[in-house]
Structures are given as C-alpha cells and as structure tokens.
Structure 1
Amino acid sequence: MRIPRIYQPQSLALHQLTELDEEAANHVGRVLRMEAGQQLELFNSDGNNYPAIIESSSKKHVSVKITEVHVNDSESPLDIHLGQVISRGDRMEFTIQKSVELGVNKITPLTSERCGVKLNQERFEKKRQQWQKIAIAACEQSGRSIVPEVAPLQSLEQWASETSSAMKLNLHPKAPYSIKTLPTPENGVRLLIGPEGGLSAQEIEVCNQYQFQETILGPRVLRTETAALTAITALQCQFGDLA
C-alpha cells in the first residue's frame, strides 16, 4: 500500500511531534480514516521528505511524530517558468496539475488580447488559491517535495518584459526551429503558452521585442493545454530528467 504524502507549510525536524493543519487533518482523519500507528510522509517545500508515524487521530485533529528525514532528489535539473494565458473551464486546472507533475518550477497566469476568461482581482485571487492547492496536490501525488508557486496574475506584456537570463520560448506553428535544435539552456526556460485563439500579431511582436525565440512543436496545431504539456515534456526529454 502506498504511503500517503501530506503537505505541511511549517518547519519540520527529526523526532518532532507535529499537529497537522485543519485541511490535512481532515484528509487524514476523515477521508483516509487513518489511525494511530499508521505511516505517512510529510513535506514542506524545503526539498526533504519526512516519514512519520501517527500518534493520535480523529476527524479534526491528527498528530504525528517524524521518524526520518530524507533529501528528495525528484526535482528536474531544468528550471521551467510557465507563463500560461488563462484558459476556460477546467483546462487551466488540468494544465497546472500536469505541468507540476512534469516538473515545472513556477506558473504565472497571464491575460492577453484573445484571453477568453475575464476575472476581477477578487475572483482571480480565489482562483489562484484554488490553483495553488491543485499544485500542492500534484506534488503529493507525483512525489515532489518543492511546491511550485502559482504567481499573481500579470498581462502577457508585463511578464514578457521581466528581466531574466533564462531562455525565452514562444510556440509558433511556422517557426524555423524545434526544441531539438535549441542550445542547452544555461539558466532555465521561460515558456510562453498563448490562449485558445492564439497570440495577436502585436503580441508576437512584443515577444520578439523581448527576445523570445519562436519554436515549433510539430506539423499539427495543438490546443493550449496540449501545447503546454507537450512543450514541457519535450524540454524535459531534451534538457531535463525525462528519459
């Protein structure tokens, strides 16, 4: 039986007695119905795994004792910052979940001219908190111990204009170069994925202005969520840790 992995945003240490936060305690005590003596594994985004034994468990309160500390080496050597124009429905959630499983280090939701989603700041913040929880759950499932940040909303131009030494990539169906022909990124990758309707001519020009390289994935036009995951997979296969 697989040992459940639980995210705890607090300092953790060997032999420490830890009270799980309310959300985690509800999941362990009420959903999984775990009892005293059973094992689980904690992580807090410091890159370590913390195997633990449940000391006491109820539907609202769970305390555990950390029995070991292990460095988790599941992070890819390739740092990827995904700039994703917000997509409709559950597509954005799907993109966040799967990109975290594939090893993305940071996700910035973006607005653009053809973005089909309109959110005010209050609604977006609620969405961002929900997306961050999805990122945490993806780490619990995939074995990662460093949780990628889902950053505050930015416009495409704001994000594109940020100073960065990373390789900047923008997918384009008529680009002359593929990911296989790119040089090895020395300082990670900033990957821009546009909306379902694609980037406007002005936005493509903005990307060119800020030294984004146009890159092609193949002969077929992919949906925005498919493009993001395909590009991340190709980058990880070429420069990261996917075989």
Structure 2
Amino acid sequence: MSARLYVDLPLGPEGQELDLPPGPTRHAQVLRSQPGDVLTLFDGRGEQEWQAEVLAMGRSVVRVRLLSARVLRHELPQGFRLALVMPANDRMDFLVEKATELGVAAIQPLMSERSVLRLSGERADKKVAHWQGVAQAAAEQCGRARVPQVAAVRTLPQWLAELPPAAGEARWLLSPQAQGLPGRPAQGELWSLSGPEGGLSAGEEAAAQAQGFQPVGLGPRVLRADTAPLALLSWWGLAQL
C-alpha cells in the first residue's frame, strides 16, 4: 500500500508535475521513497485522491507526476460541525484526531466562563495550527479526502453573536439536564455545542438556546468533556450507514 499524504496545493489534472511542499517532502524522505515509487496524494479540497509517481528525490525537493484520480465517498451524507469549549491538557489533541476519523466537517474551539484552558494571541494561533496538523494527519490515516477546518479560538459569547440564523441545519446543545436525543432530521447538517469540564453555566445555556440550540442528553451517566461530543458524533455517523 502506497503512502498517503496531504498536499496543501490544488491537484490536477492528470499528468501534472509538481514539487511536494515541505511537510509531505519530509514524509516521503522518511519513507525512503525512490524515483518510480507511487504515492497517494489528496489536497483536502474535494472528494478524490491521486496516484502520483515519484520523479526525483532531492535533499529538499521531491518531484512527482499525477497519474490518475479516484473519487472517494467517505464523507458523512449529513455533515456534523462541532463547537466545543476546549478541554484541558492534551485532551483536545485526542478529540481533534478522533473527531476527524469519525467524519467531523469542522471544529470550533471555544472558551467559556468555566474554561480551564484559556488561549489568546500567538499562543492561540499556534495551538490552532497544531490542531489543524493533527486533523491533517488523521485524514491521511483514515482515508478521508477532506480535512476538517479547525477555526480560530473564540469565546462562546463571541461565537454565538457571530453565528448566522439557522438555515436548514439542526443545532443541538449537549446538556446533562436534558432527556435523550431527538430523532435525527431527515436532511441538513448538525451543529453540536458542548461545554468544558465544569459544564456551561445556566446563562450560557440560555444564550445558546436563544440561537436555536436544542438541549439534548446522552443518558444518565455524566460523560467527560472530550467523551460526550465524540459519542454524539459516533451516533450521528452510524445512523447514516
């Protein structure tokens, strides 16, 4: 099986020759790829991946030629967008990785009144870039053609204020006080919103509901901040099989 690499460049048409960007170049070098070897490339912009022949290997350049494309059908028919107050420590890395594998379309990191992890400025930008890299690596591994976008860190009030009116999508708020899940809508995407380790405050839940978020629950047990959104995403994806 050929190595599968994300390339942040538009790929196509067949026969195109290009130099791989630095990240994929290092990966190909670590794999000791040689001229004539075939790599699998995808650009995260559509639903296809390319077979590419290595033409030349240099110290800092790997040149390839695109051979043929294959259309993938690995995305969820009804998209799932995840907004969550960031869990502490390395739990956000794990969450981004697993959410990508499970098919999430986009991730919005948030801060709330009870946030343990608080980020701003350059530190926030570096974390988002790191999480985007985690999503790219997970997409490479799991066979997705699209890489979910990790948005800039926002406070929950900022994000809610900027959120446009719902246009065909469902909006669910994970809440320990809510009783069960509604039926999955017949069409449209889902925005899922969840809180930090200490949960959202009553005022924050009310503000979310004012923007159309319906409280939903996942049973009698209290799930961790990084477990609950993944459980909901798993259910959403499995229901579409």
TM-score, normalised to structure 1, is 0.92
Determine helix, strand or coil for the equivalent of 2:23. Answer: helix
Contact 1:109/1:151 (<8 A) preserved: yes
How far apart are the structure 1 equivalents of 2:95 and 2:28?
27
Q: Which residue of 2 aligns with 1:167?
A: 170
- CA offsets, 1:131-166, max 9 Å, x none? 111111111001011111111112212333412321
Note the C-alpha offset of 1:59: 4.0
Q: Secondary structure at the match of 1:67?
A: strand
> What does residue 225 of structure 1 align with?
226
> Which whole-Å CA distance do the structure 2 matches of 1:185 and 1:101 have between them?
23
**Residue of structure 2 in register with 1:188 after alignment:** 189
Q: 3-state DSSP class of the match of 1:69?
A: strand
Aligned residues: 236
Secondary structure at the counterpart of residue 93 of structure 2: helix
Q: What percent of counterpart residues are identical?
A: 35
- Regions of 4+ moved over 2 Å: 157-161
**RMSD across aligned positions (CA):** 1.4
Is the 1:177–1:214 contact (alpha carbons within 8 Å) kept by the matching residues of 2? no
Q: Does 1:40 align with 2:39?
A: yes
Unaligned stretches of 5+ in structure 1?
none
Q: How many Å separate the matches in 2 of 1:192 and 1:183? A: 16
* 2:237 maps to amino acid: Q
Are the counterparts in 2 of residues 167 and 185 from structure 1 also a CA contact under 8 Å? no
CA deviations 1:178-203 (Å, max 9, x no partner) are 2xx32415320000121011111111
Partner residue of 1:205?
206
Normalising by structure 2, we get a TM-score of 0.93
Q: Which moved more, 1:84-93 or 1:156-165?
A: 156-165
Aligned pairs for 1:22-171 (under 5 A) are 22-29=22-29, 31-45=30-44, 46-161=46-161, 162-163=163-164, 164-165=166-167, 166-171=169-174
Specify every segment of 5 or more residues in structure 2 that has no aligned partner in the other structure, as ranges.
none
Per-residue CA deviations over 1:34-80 (Å, capped at 9, x if unaligned) read 11111111111222111111111234211111110121111110111
C-alpha separation in 1, matches of 2:186 and 2:154: 24
Correspondence 1:176 to 2:179: yes
